[in-house]
């Protein structure tokens, strides 16, 4: 109470709720923003035995992001992802796809999740469109990854990939990965 009997207003900051969004190939930074560029990076690193950076998104000013959205305790209220790298009409480049976060100077890096890509697409390698699962039960859930810090302005959301089963020539790359934007 103040001297005049009025209650003081609380100065607590109210947490701003996040909203759902999906990041795709075209959202990447300039060296990673087309299917052809990402496919060429995957192809160039086919023989490499450690994960290689294949895609990067720089968080814009006054935003914070986390991989995934929703909650795992409400199964239909969470994000679902897909990813495919392949040779159209021939097959898929299979391997481990890592979702990473990194600060702007890349001194702090977290591997947030890792998926084997065969669980992230259909079995039809005709093109990127036919590789996308349409049945929600066939998609990989990715709830908001609250165990990790939010990625803030000028920091990075990154995809790293290492090939385990090569195809002939990677000529398409397609993915859609949920994020929460604050």
pLDDT for res 55: 98
In this predicted structure, what is the pLDDT of residue 86? 95
Print pLDDT tens along the chain (182 aa).
444 455 555 566 666 789 999 999 999 999 999 999 999 999 999 999 999 999 999 999 999 999 999 998 988 889 999 999 999 999 999 999 999 999 999 999 999 999 999 999 999 999 999 999 999 888 999 999 999 999 999 999 999 999 999 988 999 999 999 999 99
Give the integer Cα–Cα distance in Å for 156 and 70. 21
The burial class, CB within 10 Å (0-12 / 13-18 / 19+), for 2 is: exposed
Q: CA-CA distances (angstroms) from residue 106 to 29, 100, 145, 150, 158?
A: 16, 11, 20, 15, 11
Which DSSP symbol is given to 69? -
19-181 belongs to CATH 2.60.120.1170: yes
How are beta strands 172-181 and 19-24 bridged, if at all?
Answer: antiparallel
The CA-CA-CA angle for residues 119, 125, 130, to 5°, reads 85
Task: Tell me, rounded to whole angstroms, the distance of Cα 47 from its chain centroid.
Answer: 23
**Conformation bin of residue 89: beta by default, left when phi > 0, alpha when psi is -120 to 50:** left
pLDDT at position 75, please?
Answer: 81
Domain ranges of the chain: 19-181
* Element housing 109 (H / E): strand 109-116
């Amino acid at each position: 109470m103040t001297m005049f009997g009025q209650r003081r207003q609380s100065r607590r900051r109210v947490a701003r709720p996040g909203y759902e969004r999906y990041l795709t190939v075209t959202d990447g930074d300039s060296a990673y923003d087309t299917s052809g560029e990402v496919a060429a990076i995957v192809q160039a690193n086919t023989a490499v035995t450690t994960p290689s950076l294949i895609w990067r998104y720089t968080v814009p000013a006054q935003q914070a992001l986390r991989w995934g959205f929703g909650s795992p305790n409400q199964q239909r209220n969470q994000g679902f992802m897909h990813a495919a790298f392949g040779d159209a009409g021939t097959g898929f480049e299979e391997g481990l796809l890592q979702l990473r976060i990194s600060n702007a100077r890349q001194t702090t890096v977290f591997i947030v999740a890792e998926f084997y890509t065969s669980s992230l697409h259909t079995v039809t390698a005709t093109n990127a469109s036919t590789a996308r699962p349409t049945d929600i039960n066939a998609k990989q859930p990715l709830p908001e990854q609250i165990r990790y810090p939010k990625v803030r302005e000028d920091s990075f959301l990154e995809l790293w990939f290492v090939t385990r089963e090569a195809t002939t020539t990677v000529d398409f790359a397609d993915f859609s990965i949920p994020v929460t934007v604050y």
